[in-house]
Amino acid sequence: MAYQWLPPSEKHQPLWPGECVEIRELPNGLRLEIWDYSRRLAGDRWLVGLLIQIPIRPSREHFSSPELYERFVREEGLFYYRYRKERHFVDEREREAVFFSLKENFLRAALDYLSHPEFAERFLATEVPLYERRIQWEEEVRRREEEAERLEELWRDRPL
């Protein structure tokens, strides 16, 4: 999978810097962050990168068990709605105009959707089950690996 730029956090440091260029408080109480992670590629050519993210904090009621909720709070803390758009090999003189165009086109198309009063609930209704299935899958893989190691140890010194 190709590298995807993410804003800096306690758990992640990006390969190159970015800048939060705008924060908007949405009518539904969410905070929309607009990040510019553009960088020079070669000479006067740029990668123009736009990341729009909305952090969403779930509550205990969104999870099927208190244990999964506690694990999520400990390991993740927040879900993020993220939208990413990039343009490659943009002339340096056009960089700001391209970024502005990417940002405005997204906001024009999606701002009403993101501002909907039920956006967070609907988003969490999708993301929490995906998180729970991933955790269950990771636990199953861990159990199978432990069983394989246990059988390997049990049969290691036995003659064939």
pLDDT at 111: 97
44 inside domain: yes
What are the angstrom distances between the C-alpha of 92 and each of 4, 17, 43, 101?
22, 18, 9, 15
36 inside domain: yes
49 pLDDT exceeds 80?
yes
130 inside domain: yes
pLDDT class of 159 with cuts at 50, 70, 90: confident
* Distance separating alpha carbons of residues 82 and 103, to the nearest angstrom: 13
Q: What is the mean pLDDT of the chain?
A: 95
Total count of domains within the chain: 1
Give the tens place of pLDDT for each residue, 64-112.
Answer: 999 999 999 999 999 999 999 999 999 999 999 999 999 999 999 999 9
158 inside domain: no
8 inside domain: no
56 pLDDT exceeds 80?
yes
What residue numbers bound the domain in which 24 lies?
19-152
106 inside domain: yes
45 inside domain: yes
